Structure 1
Amino acid sequence: MNRTPSIIGVVLDFTPTAFFARLALVSAYLVGGIDKLGDWPAALAEQAHFGLTPPALWAALTIAVELIGPLLILSGRLVWLGAGMLGVFTFFAALVANAFWVMPDGPERFAAMNAFFEHMGLVGGFVLVAVLARRGQGDA
């Protein structure tokens, strides 16, 4: 039995809703990729900050993932690949950037823990995008 209120059903059934939801999910990656592409020295410095060497390789891979993944998801073609790229990238980025389990107690650890679990939520969102695309739902 479907108990979804009718107004919510209208919003969910509105064709552009799925596209705008996917756009919201990938927006930070698009902005990040464009920003890094426009400021290569900062992209290199970010990779070096996290100890990734050679930084140029990691910066180029990051830009590619942050631009190609969202475009695949938004285009509705090879959604599983775009969602997989961003999900794996986000998982490993969270491990590298938010390793709260090695930090002493305090506000920095608390912030890193929150950021880590927020990123795990994004990973779950990418899995859902791939599931819905496979099922042919959500205009994906």
Structure 2
Amino acid sequence: MLGGLGRGPVADSPSWVVALLRQPWVMPLVRICLVSAYLVGGITKLMHFDAAVAEQAHFGLHPAWLWATLAIFVEIAGSLCIVFNRFTWVGAGGLAGLTVVAMLVANNFWRLEGVARFIALNSFFEHLGLIAAFVMVTYVASGERRSRV
């Protein structure tokens, strides 16, 4: 069973895809790529805390210092949970929750018009895709654990 997904990727994919997915470095790299924006964002916010506070205030989140602190913690801790494949559901859930807040606050396309609406609409659905990826990484991690027992 590959990644706890049952017969799907093994039975439905060409042999070269299966061979690639079975390489021991692929899933760790995929996990790093999935959280890269969050990990870099959290570290950048930590290094430039005043800018992180200003960002939260810009989006109307108050107290801004608290929201900035929460965002930094969730981005870094949640990313590390996924990268190290430990407490994946906690990390993925935290990052998904943070992403929902970002979608509703920063990508409120329903209040915009023209090009701004187009950009926000695209970003909203890109973030929705990330949330789906967090669900999938949690599912894969739980399947990997089941297959080791």
Whole-angstrom distance in 2 between the partners of 1:118 and 1:3? 26
Query: Residues 91-106 of structure 1: matches in 2 within 5 Å?
Result: 91-104=100-113, 106=114
* 2:59 maps to 1:47: no
* Identity, % of aligned positions: 49
Q: Distance in 1 between matches of 2:84 and 2:34?
A: 14
How do residues 1-140 of structure 1 correspond to structure 2 at under 5 angstroms? 2-104=11-113, 106-136=114-144
Counterpart CA distance in 2 for 1:95 and 1:135 is 31
Shift of residue 112, structure 1, vs aligned partner: 0.2
Runs (4 or more) in structure 1 with deviation over 4 Å come to none
CA distance in 1, matches of 2:86, 2:109: 36
Q: How high is the TM-score relative to the length of structure 2? A: 0.88
Letter in 2 for 1:29: Y
**Alignment-derived partner of residue 3 in structure 2:** none
Count of equivalent residues: 137
- The alpha-carbon deviation at position 3 of structure 1 amounts to 3.7
CA distance in 2, matches of 1:98, 1:4: 36
Structure 1: 5+ residue stretches without partners: none
5+ residue gaps in structure 2?
1-6
TM-score scaled to structure 1, two decimals?
Answer: 0.94
Q: What is the Cα deviation at residue 133 of structure 1? A: 1.1
Give the Cα separation in 2 of the matches to 1:30 and 1:23. 9
SS in 2 for 1:53: coil
